């Protein structure tokens, strides 16, 4: 896997339908991305055309104006350790970013080099197309170790100086996910140092899912990787990105490294367990499995909230609008059956309006039909009320001492930003209001979604009310929005 220092491999590369035409090249990995520079032409980018000069002479013009995209490339990498063995590699969805060029009679013609940038790389195997299917995946995520908060590994040395590394603290349980798939926590143990007896024990935790229905890399990223990252970000209050992703076709196989731009193998700033909103012990592996099972229902909402958590120095209006939109979307997804009026009432209303509109022109009829098109849907304020009813006890004081005023303020600013009702910038007081309301929406959404991950309301309330960033939020909100938070308190 790539590191901060570019990881450079030499090897042979070719197109799957032209395996006999292999050319040398250099594949460079840097922080989750890759670039291939070939010493020859994988796929010509040249366009030839006949041009007639002013004096009637015809000549061939060769230009390099074709830019191949979505090209699949196979390769065999030379090993770093002077081994005679080579590592198979597949470069998926390659784009030619530097076509071949070379002067021939002052014109553009074939040269010796091309540069290709793949969207994804699969190391360890050559797949025939980007629709290759896999049934197992495991993910190593930054801050997973701190979040799991498990005791370290131990070393056993027998009289013959043979060393056994033991990691009894990692749960051995296997929990169901969906469609018969199973989730487990796996530890890879190694020793850094001059010997297995004296070196430091290194443990790497992976979240592993086996027994999936055959899925493409894109499907695995959507079904497993993205929801897992969102969950850990919600739990830790800090952006969590993958350090490594591996896939495989079954349970007994060599894992294949999956490289794309979202993977960052470099280290991140350590995270104290005191910074955690909830830890693994609060939801268990069962909670992780449940979360992956409901991720389709929640859709993009967890990722939207996680993106706000991860952003630094962003525009407050944008953060507030994203969270206000997420609140409505989350309620819709959790309770799609909730309506303001029954279907029978809605039909009667629309029929009555249609009768009244007969005497008006088409523009008026169209405008009114559009205005009442969603008359059956709950008002935004009602959705906020129901979210508070579902999760408000888990975030004591989140809506201040006056929840009705809190809802009124959220609706007002949401409508302002969603519909651009006021083109002027926020004044100093408005900025303060938005900061308080943005933080309140963030905590409310985190709490409601963590309930879907099997965290008990009592445990969640205890964790949040004593969290090092929640208490300062309430204190700050009292100053920024005293009409709502002037006498707000935290219980628990």
CA dihedral 279, 284, 289, 294 (to 10 degrees): -60
Identify whether residues 312 and 426 lie together within a single domain. Answer: yes
Does 240 fall in a domain?
yes
Last residue of one domain, picked from the residues 265, 297, 329: 297
> Residue 368 and residue 354: Cα distance in Å, rounded?
9
Identify whether residues 279 and 332 lie together within a single domain. Answer: no
How far, in Å, are 219, 328, 462 from residue 419 at the CA level?
35, 15, 38
Chain-centroid distance of CA 106 in Å reads 49
Largest CA distance in the chain: 100
> Residue 306 and residue 231: Cα distance in Å, rounded?
8
Identify whether residues 225 and 312 lie together within a single domain. Answer: no
- Give 16-26 pLDDT, tens digit per residue: 999 999 999 99
| Rg of the chain in Å (alpha carbons) | 29
Q: Are 410 and 441 a contacting pair, CB within 8 Å?
A: yes
Name the residue among 182, 98, 179 with its Cα closest to residue 137: 182
Which residues constitute the domain of residue 17? 7-50+64-123
Identify whether residues 223 and 179 lie together within a single domain. Answer: yes
Place of tokens 């100053």: 479
> Residue 245 and residue 239: Cα distance in Å, rounded?
17
Last residue of one domain, picked from the residues 97, 123, 149: 123
Identify whether residues 255 and 282 lie together within a single domain. Answer: yes
SS3 string, 8-76, reads EEEEEEECCCCCCCCEEEEEEEECCEEEEEECCCCCCCCEEEEEECCCCCEEEEEECCCCCCCEEEEEE
Token representation of residue 42:
């994988």
Q: What is the pLDDT of residue 488?
A: 63
Any residues with CB less than 8 A from the CB of 143 and at least 6 apart, and which?
A: 232, 236, 238, 240, 268, 271
Identify whether residues 292 and 309 lie together within a single domain. Answer: no
Residue 327's DSSP bridge partners are none
- Integer distance in angstroms from the first to the last C-alpha of the chain? 45
Identify whether residues 21 and 45 lie together within a single domain. Answer: yes
The CATH number of the domain where 14 resides is what? 2.40.10
Does 130 fall in a domain?
no
Phi and psi at 486, nearest 5°, equal -55, -35
Does 352 fall in a domain?
no
> Residue 248 and residue 255: Cα distance in Å, rounded?
5
Does 475 fall in a domain?
yes
* Mean pLDDT split into 10-residue runs, the chain, 492 residues: 59 92 90 85 72 64 64 86 72 82 42 83 82 89 86 65 61 86 85 64 85 90 95 93 85 75 74 84 94 94 94 85 95 84 72 77 78 76 94 94 95 87 79 95 97 95 93 93 82 48
Identify whether residues 140 and 44 lie together within a single domain. Answer: no
Alpha helices in 359-402 (DSSP H): 362-371, 380-391
Token representation of residue 368:
């009114």
Chain-centroid distance of CA 408 in Å reads 32
Does 353 fall in a domain?
no
Last residue of one domain, picked from the residues 245, 273, 297: 297
Identify whether residues 397 and 289 lie together within a single domain. Answer: no
Q: How many CB atoms lie within 10 A of CB 309?
A: 19
Does this model's pTM top 0.85? My answer is no
Q: How many CB atoms lie within 10 A of CB 413?
A: 20
> Residue 383 and residue 339: Cα distance in Å, rounded?
10
Q: Please say whether the dihedral angle defined by the alpha carbons of residues 482, 485, 487 and 489, taken in this order, is positive or negative.
A: negative
> Residue 223 and residue 245: Cα distance in Å, rounded?
14
Does 491 fall in a domain?
no
> Residue 340 and residue 7: Cα distance in Å, rounded?
58
Does 354 fall in a domain?
no
> Residue 266 and residue 3: Cα distance in Å, rounded?
6
How far, in Å, are 188, 228, 321, 420 from residue 423 at the CA level?
55, 38, 15, 6
CA dihedral 116, 122, 124, 128 (to 10 degrees): -80
Name the residue among 402, 474, 488 with its Cα closest to residue 440: 474
> Residue 86 and residue 79: Cα distance in Å, rounded?
6
Identify whether residues 185 and 236 lie together within a single domain. Answer: yes
Number of domains observed in the structure of the chain: 3
Any residues with CB less than 8 A from the CB of 95 and at least 6 apart, and which?
A: 67, 68, 69, 70, 71, 116, 117, 118, 119
Does 365 fall in a domain?
no
Identify whether residues 173 and 68 lie together within a single domain. Answer: no
Q: Are 282 and 463 a contacting pair, CB within 8 Å?
A: yes
Identify whether residues 14 and 111 lie together within a single domain. Answer: yes
């Amino acid at each position: 896997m790539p590191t901060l220092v570019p990881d450079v491999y030499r090897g042979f590369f070719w197109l799957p339908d032209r395996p006999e035409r292999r050319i040398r090249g250099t594949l460079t990995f840097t922080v989750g991305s890759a670039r291939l520079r070939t010493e020859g032409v994988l796929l010509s980018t040249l366009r030839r055309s006949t041009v007639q000069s002013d004096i009637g002479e015809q000549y061939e013009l060769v230009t390099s104006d074709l830019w191949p995209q979505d090209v699949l490339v196979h390769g065999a990498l030379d090993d770093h350790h002077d081994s005679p063995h080579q590592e198979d590699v597949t470069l998926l969805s390659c784009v030619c970013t530097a076509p071949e060029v070379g002067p021939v009679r002052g014109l553009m013609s074939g040269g010796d080099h091309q540069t290709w940038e793949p969207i994804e790389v699969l190391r360890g195997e050559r797949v025939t197309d980007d629709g290759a299917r896999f049934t197992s995946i495991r993910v190593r995520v930054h801050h997973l170790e701190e979040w799991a908060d498990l005791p370290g590994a131990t070393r056993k040395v027998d009289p013959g100086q043979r060393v056994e590394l033991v990691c009894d603290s990692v749960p051995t349980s296997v929990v169901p996910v969906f469609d018969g798939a199973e989730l487990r926590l796996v530890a890879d143990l190694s020793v850094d140092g001059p010997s297995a007896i004296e070196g430091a024990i290194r443990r790497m935790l992976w979240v592993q899912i086996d027994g999936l229905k055959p899925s493409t890399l894109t499907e695995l990223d959507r079904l497993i990787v993205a929801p897992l990252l969102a969950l850990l970000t919600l739990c830790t209050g800090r952006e969590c990105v993958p350090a490594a992703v591996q896939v495989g076709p079954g349970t007994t196989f060599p894992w294949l490294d999956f490289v794309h731009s979202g993977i960052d193998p470099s280290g991140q700033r350590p995270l104290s367990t005191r910074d955690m909103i909830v830890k693994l012990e609060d939801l268990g592996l069962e909670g992780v499995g449940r979360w992956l099972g409901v991720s389709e229902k929640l859709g993009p909402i967890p990722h939207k909230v996680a993106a706000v958590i991860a952003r630094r120095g962003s525009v407050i209006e944008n953060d507030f609008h994203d969270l206000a939109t997420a609140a409505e979307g989350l309620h819709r997804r959790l309770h799609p059956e909730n309506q303001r009026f029954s279907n029978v009432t809605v039909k009667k209303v629309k029929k009555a309006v249609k009768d009244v509109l007969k005497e008006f022109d088409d523009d008026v009829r169209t405008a009114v039909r559009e205005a009442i098109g969603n008359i059956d849907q709950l008002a935004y304020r009602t959705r906020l009320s129901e979210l508070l009813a579902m999760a408000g006890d888990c975030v004591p004081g989140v809506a201040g001492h006056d929840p009705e005023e809190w809802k009124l303020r959220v609706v007002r600013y949401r409508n302002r930003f969603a519909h651009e009702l006021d083109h002027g910038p926020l004044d100093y007081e408005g900025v303060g209001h938005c900061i308080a309301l943005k933080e309140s929406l963030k905590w409310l959404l985190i709490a409601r979604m963590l309930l879907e991950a099997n965290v008990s309301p009592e445990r969640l309330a205890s964790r949040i009310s004593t969290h090092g960033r929640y208490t300062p939020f309430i204190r700050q909100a009292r100053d920024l929005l005293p009409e709502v938070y002037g006498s707000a308190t935290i219980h628990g």
